[in-house]
Structure 1
């Protein structure tokens, strides 16, 4: 078994940079949405990134993409990945990018709950249950007590927030499916390819069905596609998988709470979004809960591995 290291300065700096990029992606999606719908952006970036990942599979593994051991669970995670980003793309149409990124990153809470019921080694401690309780209270707080908007605008934003929360649940379901199937033994590039290819195959036709296929090839639209295809879906994910192979996952997971914070900051800065006080309070509670759940792995590592 590969001995994974505790975080050093290099790994911490890389994770900090990744969190900035991941916090920025929803904001860029919304910025470019007038020229190319968020759904089309996600579909095209998935397809372009899959084309870049495919040659790496041939170089790194002898596994067949079409083997029944990998293909069936691969189809499941492909469908879940597509569903997650469908929900996220629709959420961005109705709510702010700041709200979307925070609610998307509730995923670690749902992962912890799902694995608790499936794997004895992932049983939650009393401390972690407390973190989950705080996180769920925080989710409730983000949805209540809003004012200052018309009833129509408020209902749209709440609907968008709900879709973003569903996207977080689907992200968790994808992670759990990878963990509980043969894909847990497959190279990261192969698992990533199934998700990206599925994102394109399932979402691209939907852009036409839903009337979201129009593209205005502006500088912003092209820049967004380049950013999401090369920087996010290809480079950042491969760097993340490399970190997971080299360093303790529990240590890396603690950084996850930074991403929504960066997302909120970018939303305010680049999109002039306003953040309600109840949402700020709820976000702090959610991130505290995620941090408590993640820190359990930090405080009690198992045999030096994660």
Structure 2
């Protein structure tokens, strides 16, 4: 095969120092996202916060799609799966944002980033993708880490916190379900901006109804910190980090890049501990390491990861290789 083949060049190109630094910044941004949500909660309640975030992100994505010349309204067979992905995306954030009311940011980021566990398992069972022995070992480590974090008695962890943990795991499972839907439908060939716009746009009425049903209102004008962190979530996390990720996947191998994403939960735990003063018990620290090690094994040289490189904010897959959340 010619060395000028773009696929070969991308897969074999070593990561530059700049690319490594950029990946670390992205992982830090994704890990800090749960802390950002927690910091805004005193000013903006959870469902209303998620609603505002989706509205802001939609504007950003529409502007980016316009600037990049993405055709959003052509008939390409993506309407049905796009709406379904949006429903999954909306309820994912219902679970995540309410769960963050109950549990800590450190615990939330570990449980949310079990999503690749569900993607790998679903890809094996639903899409017929074969996993290597090391990847099955990674799944086992992830499961053991979650079981340790939830099942081992720890100070300051009561039934309320455990309910929040379970809701975050449910959000991670819905994130994975969205990923699998993208992989198995016509969305796999759609522009990534269009796929994410489906998800964000459909989530807006779902989150709006959730906020109304919960009786959420703004009791005061949000302060500068809350407003800046809302901009961080909507503009930076959902809009720009997604596009940075995809531009890097165009240049470098997705499997090489995704090897970095296993440190995202560790960044999140560190941010929760330093900024939110979340308790960090030996049992939970050990559980977080198990999850991170499991994610590394699942991601390493994985065909699954080449279609689910990330996280995030919640995003979609790239085609035909991958995406972030």
2:20 is the counterpart of 1:12? yes
- Secondary structure of 1:69's counterpart equals coil
Structure-to-structure mapping, 1:55-66, within 5 angstroms: 55-60=63-68, 63-65=71-73
- Post-superposition Cα deviations, 1:46-65, rounded to whole Å, max 9, x if no partner, equal 11111121133345456443
- CA distance in 2 between partners of 1:248 and 1:272 (Å): 37
Change (3 A) 1:215 1:248: farther
Which of 137, 142, 146 is 2:153 aligned to?
146
1:297 Cα shift? 2.7
- CA distance in 2 between partners of 1:30 and 1:64 (Å): 34
2:246 is the counterpart of 1:241? yes
Task: Name 1:169's counterpart in structure 2.
Answer: 173
Which of 17, 30, 40 is 2:38 aligned to?
30
Q: TM-score, normalising length from structure 2? A: 0.86
2:268 is the counterpart of 1:263? yes
Task: Name 1:71's counterpart in structure 2.
Answer: 79
Task: Name 1:41's counterpart in structure 2.
Answer: 49
Q: State the aligned residue count.
A: 298
2:105 is the counterpart of 1:97? yes
1:66 Cα shift? 6.4
1:88 Cα shift? 0.7
- Secondary structure of 1:296's counterpart equals coil
Contact 1:91/1:160, CA 8 A, preserved across alignment:
yes
Higher helix share: 1
**Higher relative contact order, structure no. (Cα contacts within 8 Å, ≥ 6 residues apart):** 1
Task: Name 1:87's counterpart in structure 2.
Answer: 95
- Secondary structure of 2:300's counterpart equals helix
- CA distance in 1 between partners of 2:255 and 2:179 (Å): 15
Gaps of 5+ in 2: 307-320
Task: Name 1:157's counterpart in structure 2.
Answer: 161
- Secondary structure of 2:231's counterpart equals helix
Contact 1:37/1:214, CA 8 A, preserved across alignment:
yes
2:200 is the counterpart of 1:196? yes
Task: Name 2:279's counterpart in structure 1.
Answer: 274
Task: Name 1:209's counterpart in structure 2.
Answer: 213
Deviates more, 1:284-293 or 1:35-44: 35-44
Moved over 3 A (4+): 58-66
- Post-superposition Cα deviations, 1:260-293, rounded to whole Å, max 9, x if no partner, equal 1111111111111102221111111111111111
2:258 is the counterpart of 1:253? yes
Deviates more, 1:209-218 or 1:94-103: 209-218
- Post-superposition Cα deviations, 1:54-95, rounded to whole Å, max 9, x if no partner, equal 133345456443636111111011111111111110110000
- CA distance in 1 between partners of 2:218 and 2:194 (Å): 31
Change (3 A) 1:253 1:63: same
- CA distance in 2 between partners of 1:215 and 1:22 (Å): 29
Q: TM-score, normalising length from structure 1? A: 0.91
Gaps of 5+ in 1: none
- CA distance in 2 between partners of 1:211 and 1:142 (Å): 32
Task: Name 1:126's counterpart in structure 2.
Answer: 133
Deviates more, 1:56-65 or 1:240-249: 56-65
- State the superposition RMSD in angstroms: 2.1
- Post-superposition Cα deviations, 1:9-54, rounded to whole Å, max 9, x if no partner, equal 2222111001111111110110110110132222111111111211
